[in-house]
Structure 1
Amino acid sequence: MTPLAAAAVVTATFLGMEFVAWFMHRFVLHGPLWFLHRSHHVRHPHRFERNDFFFLFYGSLSMLFIIYGSDDKDWRFWVGSGIAAYGTLYFFVHDVLIHGRLRFWRKSRNSYLRALNMAHKMHHKTTQRDGSEEFGLLWVSPHYFALARRKPAPERKRSRLTESAN
């Protein structure tokens, strides 16, 4: 496979994963697999939640594509790479930025990331299976972009090192 074709497969898979994630979230996680996903919509004292099993599913799927396509670097390898790239971005945006599961990236001044955060908070407004909105990760309704542009960006706290330098 040519490098251009490989890049096209990775890009198409990455973009397609947004649709897959939206569809699965809307109709499967808020449907028959709500018993697992519910843990993500309610407050709990645990570090992990049942919803984390979905990372294992998509991670395993990606790994299988990469393993079975790695000898020839055929389309399977590049599809697995696209799924892995989406999963990596999902982890950093959803788990780190939005839910703060790791404390190194808490707020952003970027209006797109702030719109994502607002949309996701709206999704979590309900703790029930029905009544949620905004099921995707990367695509955000224009309404939230307008809100992110109007609402002031969070102030950055100055560190002691910055203050002592002044």
Structure 2
Amino acid sequence: MESLIPYLIPTLLVVGTVVFMEWFAAWSHEHIMHGWGWRWHKSHHEPHDETLEKNDLYAVIFAIFAVGLFWIGSSWFWPLWWIAVGISIYGMLYFFMHDGLVHQRWPFKYIPRKGYLKRVYQAHRLHHAVEGRDGCVSFGFVYAEPIDKLVKKLQENKRKVDLDVLKDENQPTAAE
């Protein structure tokens, strides 16, 4: 057991960081990218011909953060190095799942027909089914709720938006 500890702690740090990053990425996608950070993220929800989009700056920020943790971890506090490994692994998962699988930002095309990959693919397509930043569902990149739950949430969000529009239309304006 004593000989496993030098491997166990780094493994737990890496796996824990990957799991945390999926939660954090989903949270920041919903609350930052679809909130005050929409100016960058909007490029991802609009059609474009460019290879890169302004939204890719978020990946650059996460990469700079990981590089900083590698540097601090190699010089002063070793656990940060393993956390940086977890962030980097998550970044690769994000690249393959989101940029590659879902948005086909690579030279070959693959659309999954069954299983986990199909669910992730469909969930993110449902995320883009809404025009604009409000009313979206499925903010994660590696985990996706079951599709029937997401469709139900999407329909509920649409009803809320429709009710909000009706409320606004029934409010008297300053000219009335």
TM-score (norm 1): 0.82
* Percent identity over paired residues: 33
Work out which of the two has the higher radius of gyration on C-alpha atoms and give 1 or 2. Answer: 2
Cα separation, 2, equivalents of 1:133 and 1:97: 18
Higher relative contact order (CA 8 A, sep 6+): 1
Structure 2 CA distance for partners of 1:73 and 1:108, relative to 1, 3 Å:
farther
The reply on whether 1:29 has 2:33 as its aligned counterpart is yes
123-132 vs 98-107, which deviates more? 98-107
Give the superposition deviation at 1:144: 5.4
The 5-angstrom pairing of residues 8-47 of structure 1 reads 8-47=12-51
Task: Give the equivalent residue in structure 1 for 2:86.
Answer: 82
Cα separation, 2, equivalents of 1:95 and 1:102: 8
- Stretches of structure 1 that go unaligned for 5 or more consecutive residues are 148-166
RMSD of aligned residue pairs (Cα, Å): 1.9
Count matched residues: 146
Aligned counterpart for 1:117 among listed residues 96, 121, 124: 121
The reply on whether 1:70 has 2:79 as its aligned counterpart is no
Query: Conserved in 1, the CA contact under 8 Å of 2:122 and 2:147?
Result: no
Query: Conserved in 1, the CA contact under 8 Å of 2:112 and 2:121?
Result: no
The reply on whether 1:136 has 2:140 as its aligned counterpart is yes
Query: Conserved in 1, the CA contact under 8 Å of 2:93 and 2:142?
Result: no
Task: Give the equivalent residue in structure 2 for 1:159.
Answer: none
TM-score (norm 2): 0.77
The reply on whether 1:50 has 2:51 as its aligned counterpart is no
- Stretches of structure 2 that go unaligned for 5 or more consecutive residues are 152-176
